[in-house]
Amino acid sequence: MEKSDLTVTATLASLVLDEAETQKLGDEVSRMLSYFEKMSEIDVDGLEPTTHALQKENRLRPDRGLSNEAQPDELLECAPDLEDRFILIPNVL
């Protein structure tokens, strides 16, 4: 794998990598990619892609309100900072 590909991928994933990590991950990712290359050698023409191995039926939910075990207030408590009921974060505009 090209080093620049890895840097772009890391940036897209919001990961900051130092030189050593880049080296280490570069090797690992290259090995992973080679497995994919092996797989793409197989002729899959005319086969339907399997995105879900176990799920064959539709899984739908009726359009009705559900009460959750976790209350909104409890969820808000997980936020680092609040202002009234807003979650407060540094400006990211």
Partner 1 sequence: MYQSFIGLEIHIHLAAETKAFCGCKANFGDEENTNVCPVCMGFPGVLPTLNEKAIQMSYVVARALNCKLSPNTKFERKNYFYPDMPKNYQISQFAEPVGRDGYIDIEIGDSIKRVRIHDVHFEEDAGKMIHAGDMSLLDYNRAGYPLLEIVTEPDLVIGEDAEAFLKSFQRLVRYLGVCDGNMEEGSMRCDANVSINPVGVGLGEKVEIKNLNSSRFVRKALNYEIERQSGLMDNGTKIIQETRLWNENRDQTEGMRKKEDANDYRYFPEPDLPPFRPSDEFMKEVEEGICELPLVRKQRLMTSYGLGSDQAEYIHDEKFMADFFEKAVFLGADAVQVYSWLSSDVKKLLNRNSQSLEDSNLSAERLARLISMIEDGQISGKIAKRVLDHIFDEDKDPDVICDEQGLVQISDPAAIAKFVDEVMAANEAVVEAVRGGDQRQMGFLVGQIMKVSGGKAAPAVVQSVLKEKVLG
Q: Name the site residues for partner 1 (rule: CB under 8 A).
A: 8, 11-12, 14, 51-52, 55-68, 70, 72, 75-76, 78, 83-93
Surface-to-core class of residue 1, CB atoms within 10 Å of its CB (0-12 exposed, 13-18 middle, 19+ buried)? middle
Minimum gap (Å) between residue 48 Cβ and partner 1: 8
Comparison of 20 and 93: residue with beta carbon closer to partner 1 = 93
Comparison of 42 and 54: residue with beta carbon closer to partner 1 = 54
CA angle 22, 12, 35 (to 5 degrees): 60
Comparison of 20 and 47: residue with beta carbon closer to partner 1 = 47
Q: Which distant-in-sequence residues (6+ apart) come within 8 Å of 25 by Cβ? A: 6, 10, 17
Minimum gap (Å) between residue 76 Cβ and partner 1: 6
